Amino acid sequence: MRRRQWFIAFAGILLGVNGLLIFLDDEGEVARLSYVQDWSVIAEKDMTKTIDTPGVLTANQLPVYFDKTRGSFQKFLVEEGTTVRVGEPLYTYNVDNYAETKTDLEQKKRQLTDEIRAVEEAATSLSAHRIPEEGTNAVFEGESSNLELKDRSVETNYLKERDLAGIEMELAQKRAQLESIQMQLSELETDGETVTVASPYAGSVTELSESLDNPVVTIRGTELYAQGKLTEAERMEVEKDMPAEVTIRESDTVINGALGALADNPETLHVDRESTYSFQVTFDEQADTEDLLPGYHADVAITTAKSVDVPAVKTELMNGSSLWKMTSDGTLKKQTVKTGVVANGYAELTKGAEPGEWAAANAREQLRDGTVFITPLKLHDIEWKQLGKYDNVNWKRCILTGLLAR
């Protein structure tokens, strides 16, 4: 016990003398040490930067019109709240001029037929377009280039599928409109006086205009989407087609989608008030929205940047554009680095550092480039009771060797 007490006292004196020599060394004759209090490993992480904003579910309000110059309105065939399918009758009217009405309907039929043909050709062309796979028709140097190509290929395939889904939706809409026109023509040719206008949309009737002001019928579509507002700073960061995740607050249901409509003009203009810009998130085709209704509130997370399996370090260890590396030879190196995605307390390192390396925090601006570093002594890890058992150790020699090494 007495030997251990003497050893601890002697070691304390040596450490004190050592520190005093360093403090009084103005000419750099004593090698400097850097004391590293906090440090962390540079690890691989998935980095995602998002803009989080509140939103609400809604559906398109689809208008159906009545041309008063074609005849006199007769009656509505639906009520507010009625659920209608494509092709179901909405209202009837008596024509004033049979020949003129027929000519007009035939012209609309030809126009829709041409539009449908054009959309079908666009769908065929997009479906036939092949996305180059990794390594196809090109030689890339390094693994990072292959990863970038793979990421671009995945993103391009996603955009292709999304565009195809949009084209198919547009095609279905135009075919429904053509079917409605054909039904009106058939009825006009049969009756000669009355035309029944069928619904070109599926959904729920939300409004009927008894005054016959257009639109005479408004239908809420079956396709839901989320809408919300962005600040000026947020609007600068987002672009159309960016991935978005919508979480329904009351049920924690998560729906994936992408930014669709994105306003370029603010909702209102105020000199002394920040502008806000509206946005819409369209859901993926496979999204399950059956149990959801317009008006449900949600939290929207728009992904503005994403990197997968990249070196990342805690932002608190960053020193501007540099990092204090703890090298394998026991010295510190001030390393200039380039950063990518910065989010959730971490920074992606695109240049200057690799996974597995260690970085030190320079909280008190005490670290020096090229110096040997020391870390805190964890007293609770030392088995003090074992010190007295090393009777054969030449402590004097060990201590003197340590001093001479300094």
Q: What tens digit of pLDDT does each residue of 270-314 get?
A: 888 899 999 999 998 888 888 898 999 999 999 999 989 999 999
Burial class (CB in 10 A: 0-12, 13-18, 19+), 241: middle
What per-residue confidence (pLDDT) applies to 140?
41
Task: List pLDDT tens digits, range 98-113.
Answer: 888 888 888 888 998 9
* pLDDT band for position 127 (cuts 50, 70, 90): confident
Q: Check if the beta carbon of residue 46 is closer than 8 Å to that of residue 307.
A: yes
Nearest to 362, CA basis, from 28, 41, 35: 35
Average pLDDT over residues 181-188: 82
Q: Is the pLDDT of residue 337 over 60?
A: yes
Average pLDDT over residues 376-392: 57
DSSP, residue by residue, 32-84? PEEE---EEE-EEEEEEEEEEEEEEEEEEEEEE---GGGEEEEEES--TT-EE
Q: Check if the beta carbon of residue 94 is closer than 8 Å to that of residue 330.
A: no
Which is higher by pLDDT, 274 or 180?
274
Task: List pLDDT tens digits, range 71-92.
Answer: 899 999 999 999 998 888 999 9
* Per-residue buried b or exposed e for 256-268, using 16+ beta carbons within 10 Å of the residue's own CB: ebbbbebeeebee
Task: List pLDDT tens digits, range 240-271.
Answer: 989 999 999 988 899 999 998 899 999 888 88
What per-residue confidence (pLDDT) applies to 138?
45
What distance in Å separates the CA atoms of residue 334 and residue 317, rounded to the nearest whole number? 12
Lowest mean pLDDT among 117-131, 316-330, 335-349, 384-398: 384-398
Return the CATH number of 221-302, one of 3.90.870.40, 3.40.50.2300, 2.40.30.170, 3.30.460.10.
2.40.30.170
Nearest to 207, CA basis, from 57, 61, 92: 61
Angle at 181 between CA 177 and CA 185, to 5 degrees: 170
Q: Is the pLDDT of residue 405 over 50?
A: no
Lowest mean pLDDT among 75-79, 98-102, 123-127, 399-403: 399-403
Nearest to 203, CA basis, from 83, 65, 288: 83
pTM above 0.75, yes or no: no
Helix axes 2-24 and 395-405, enclosed angle (nearest 10): 10
What distance in Å separates the CA atoms of residue 309 and residue 312, rounded to the nearest whole number? 9
Largest CA distance in the chain: 120
Lowest mean pLDDT among 12-21, 120-129, 158-167: 12-21
Q: Is the pLDDT of residue 27 over 60?
A: no
What per-residue confidence (pLDDT) applies to 3?
62
Q: Is the pLDDT of residue 219 over 80?
A: yes
Give the DSSP H or E segment for 300.
Answer: strand 297-314
Return the CATH number of 2-48+307-405, one of 2.60.120.10, 3.40.50.10490, 2.40.420.20, 1.10.150.120.
2.40.420.20
Total residue count of the chain as it appears in this document: 406
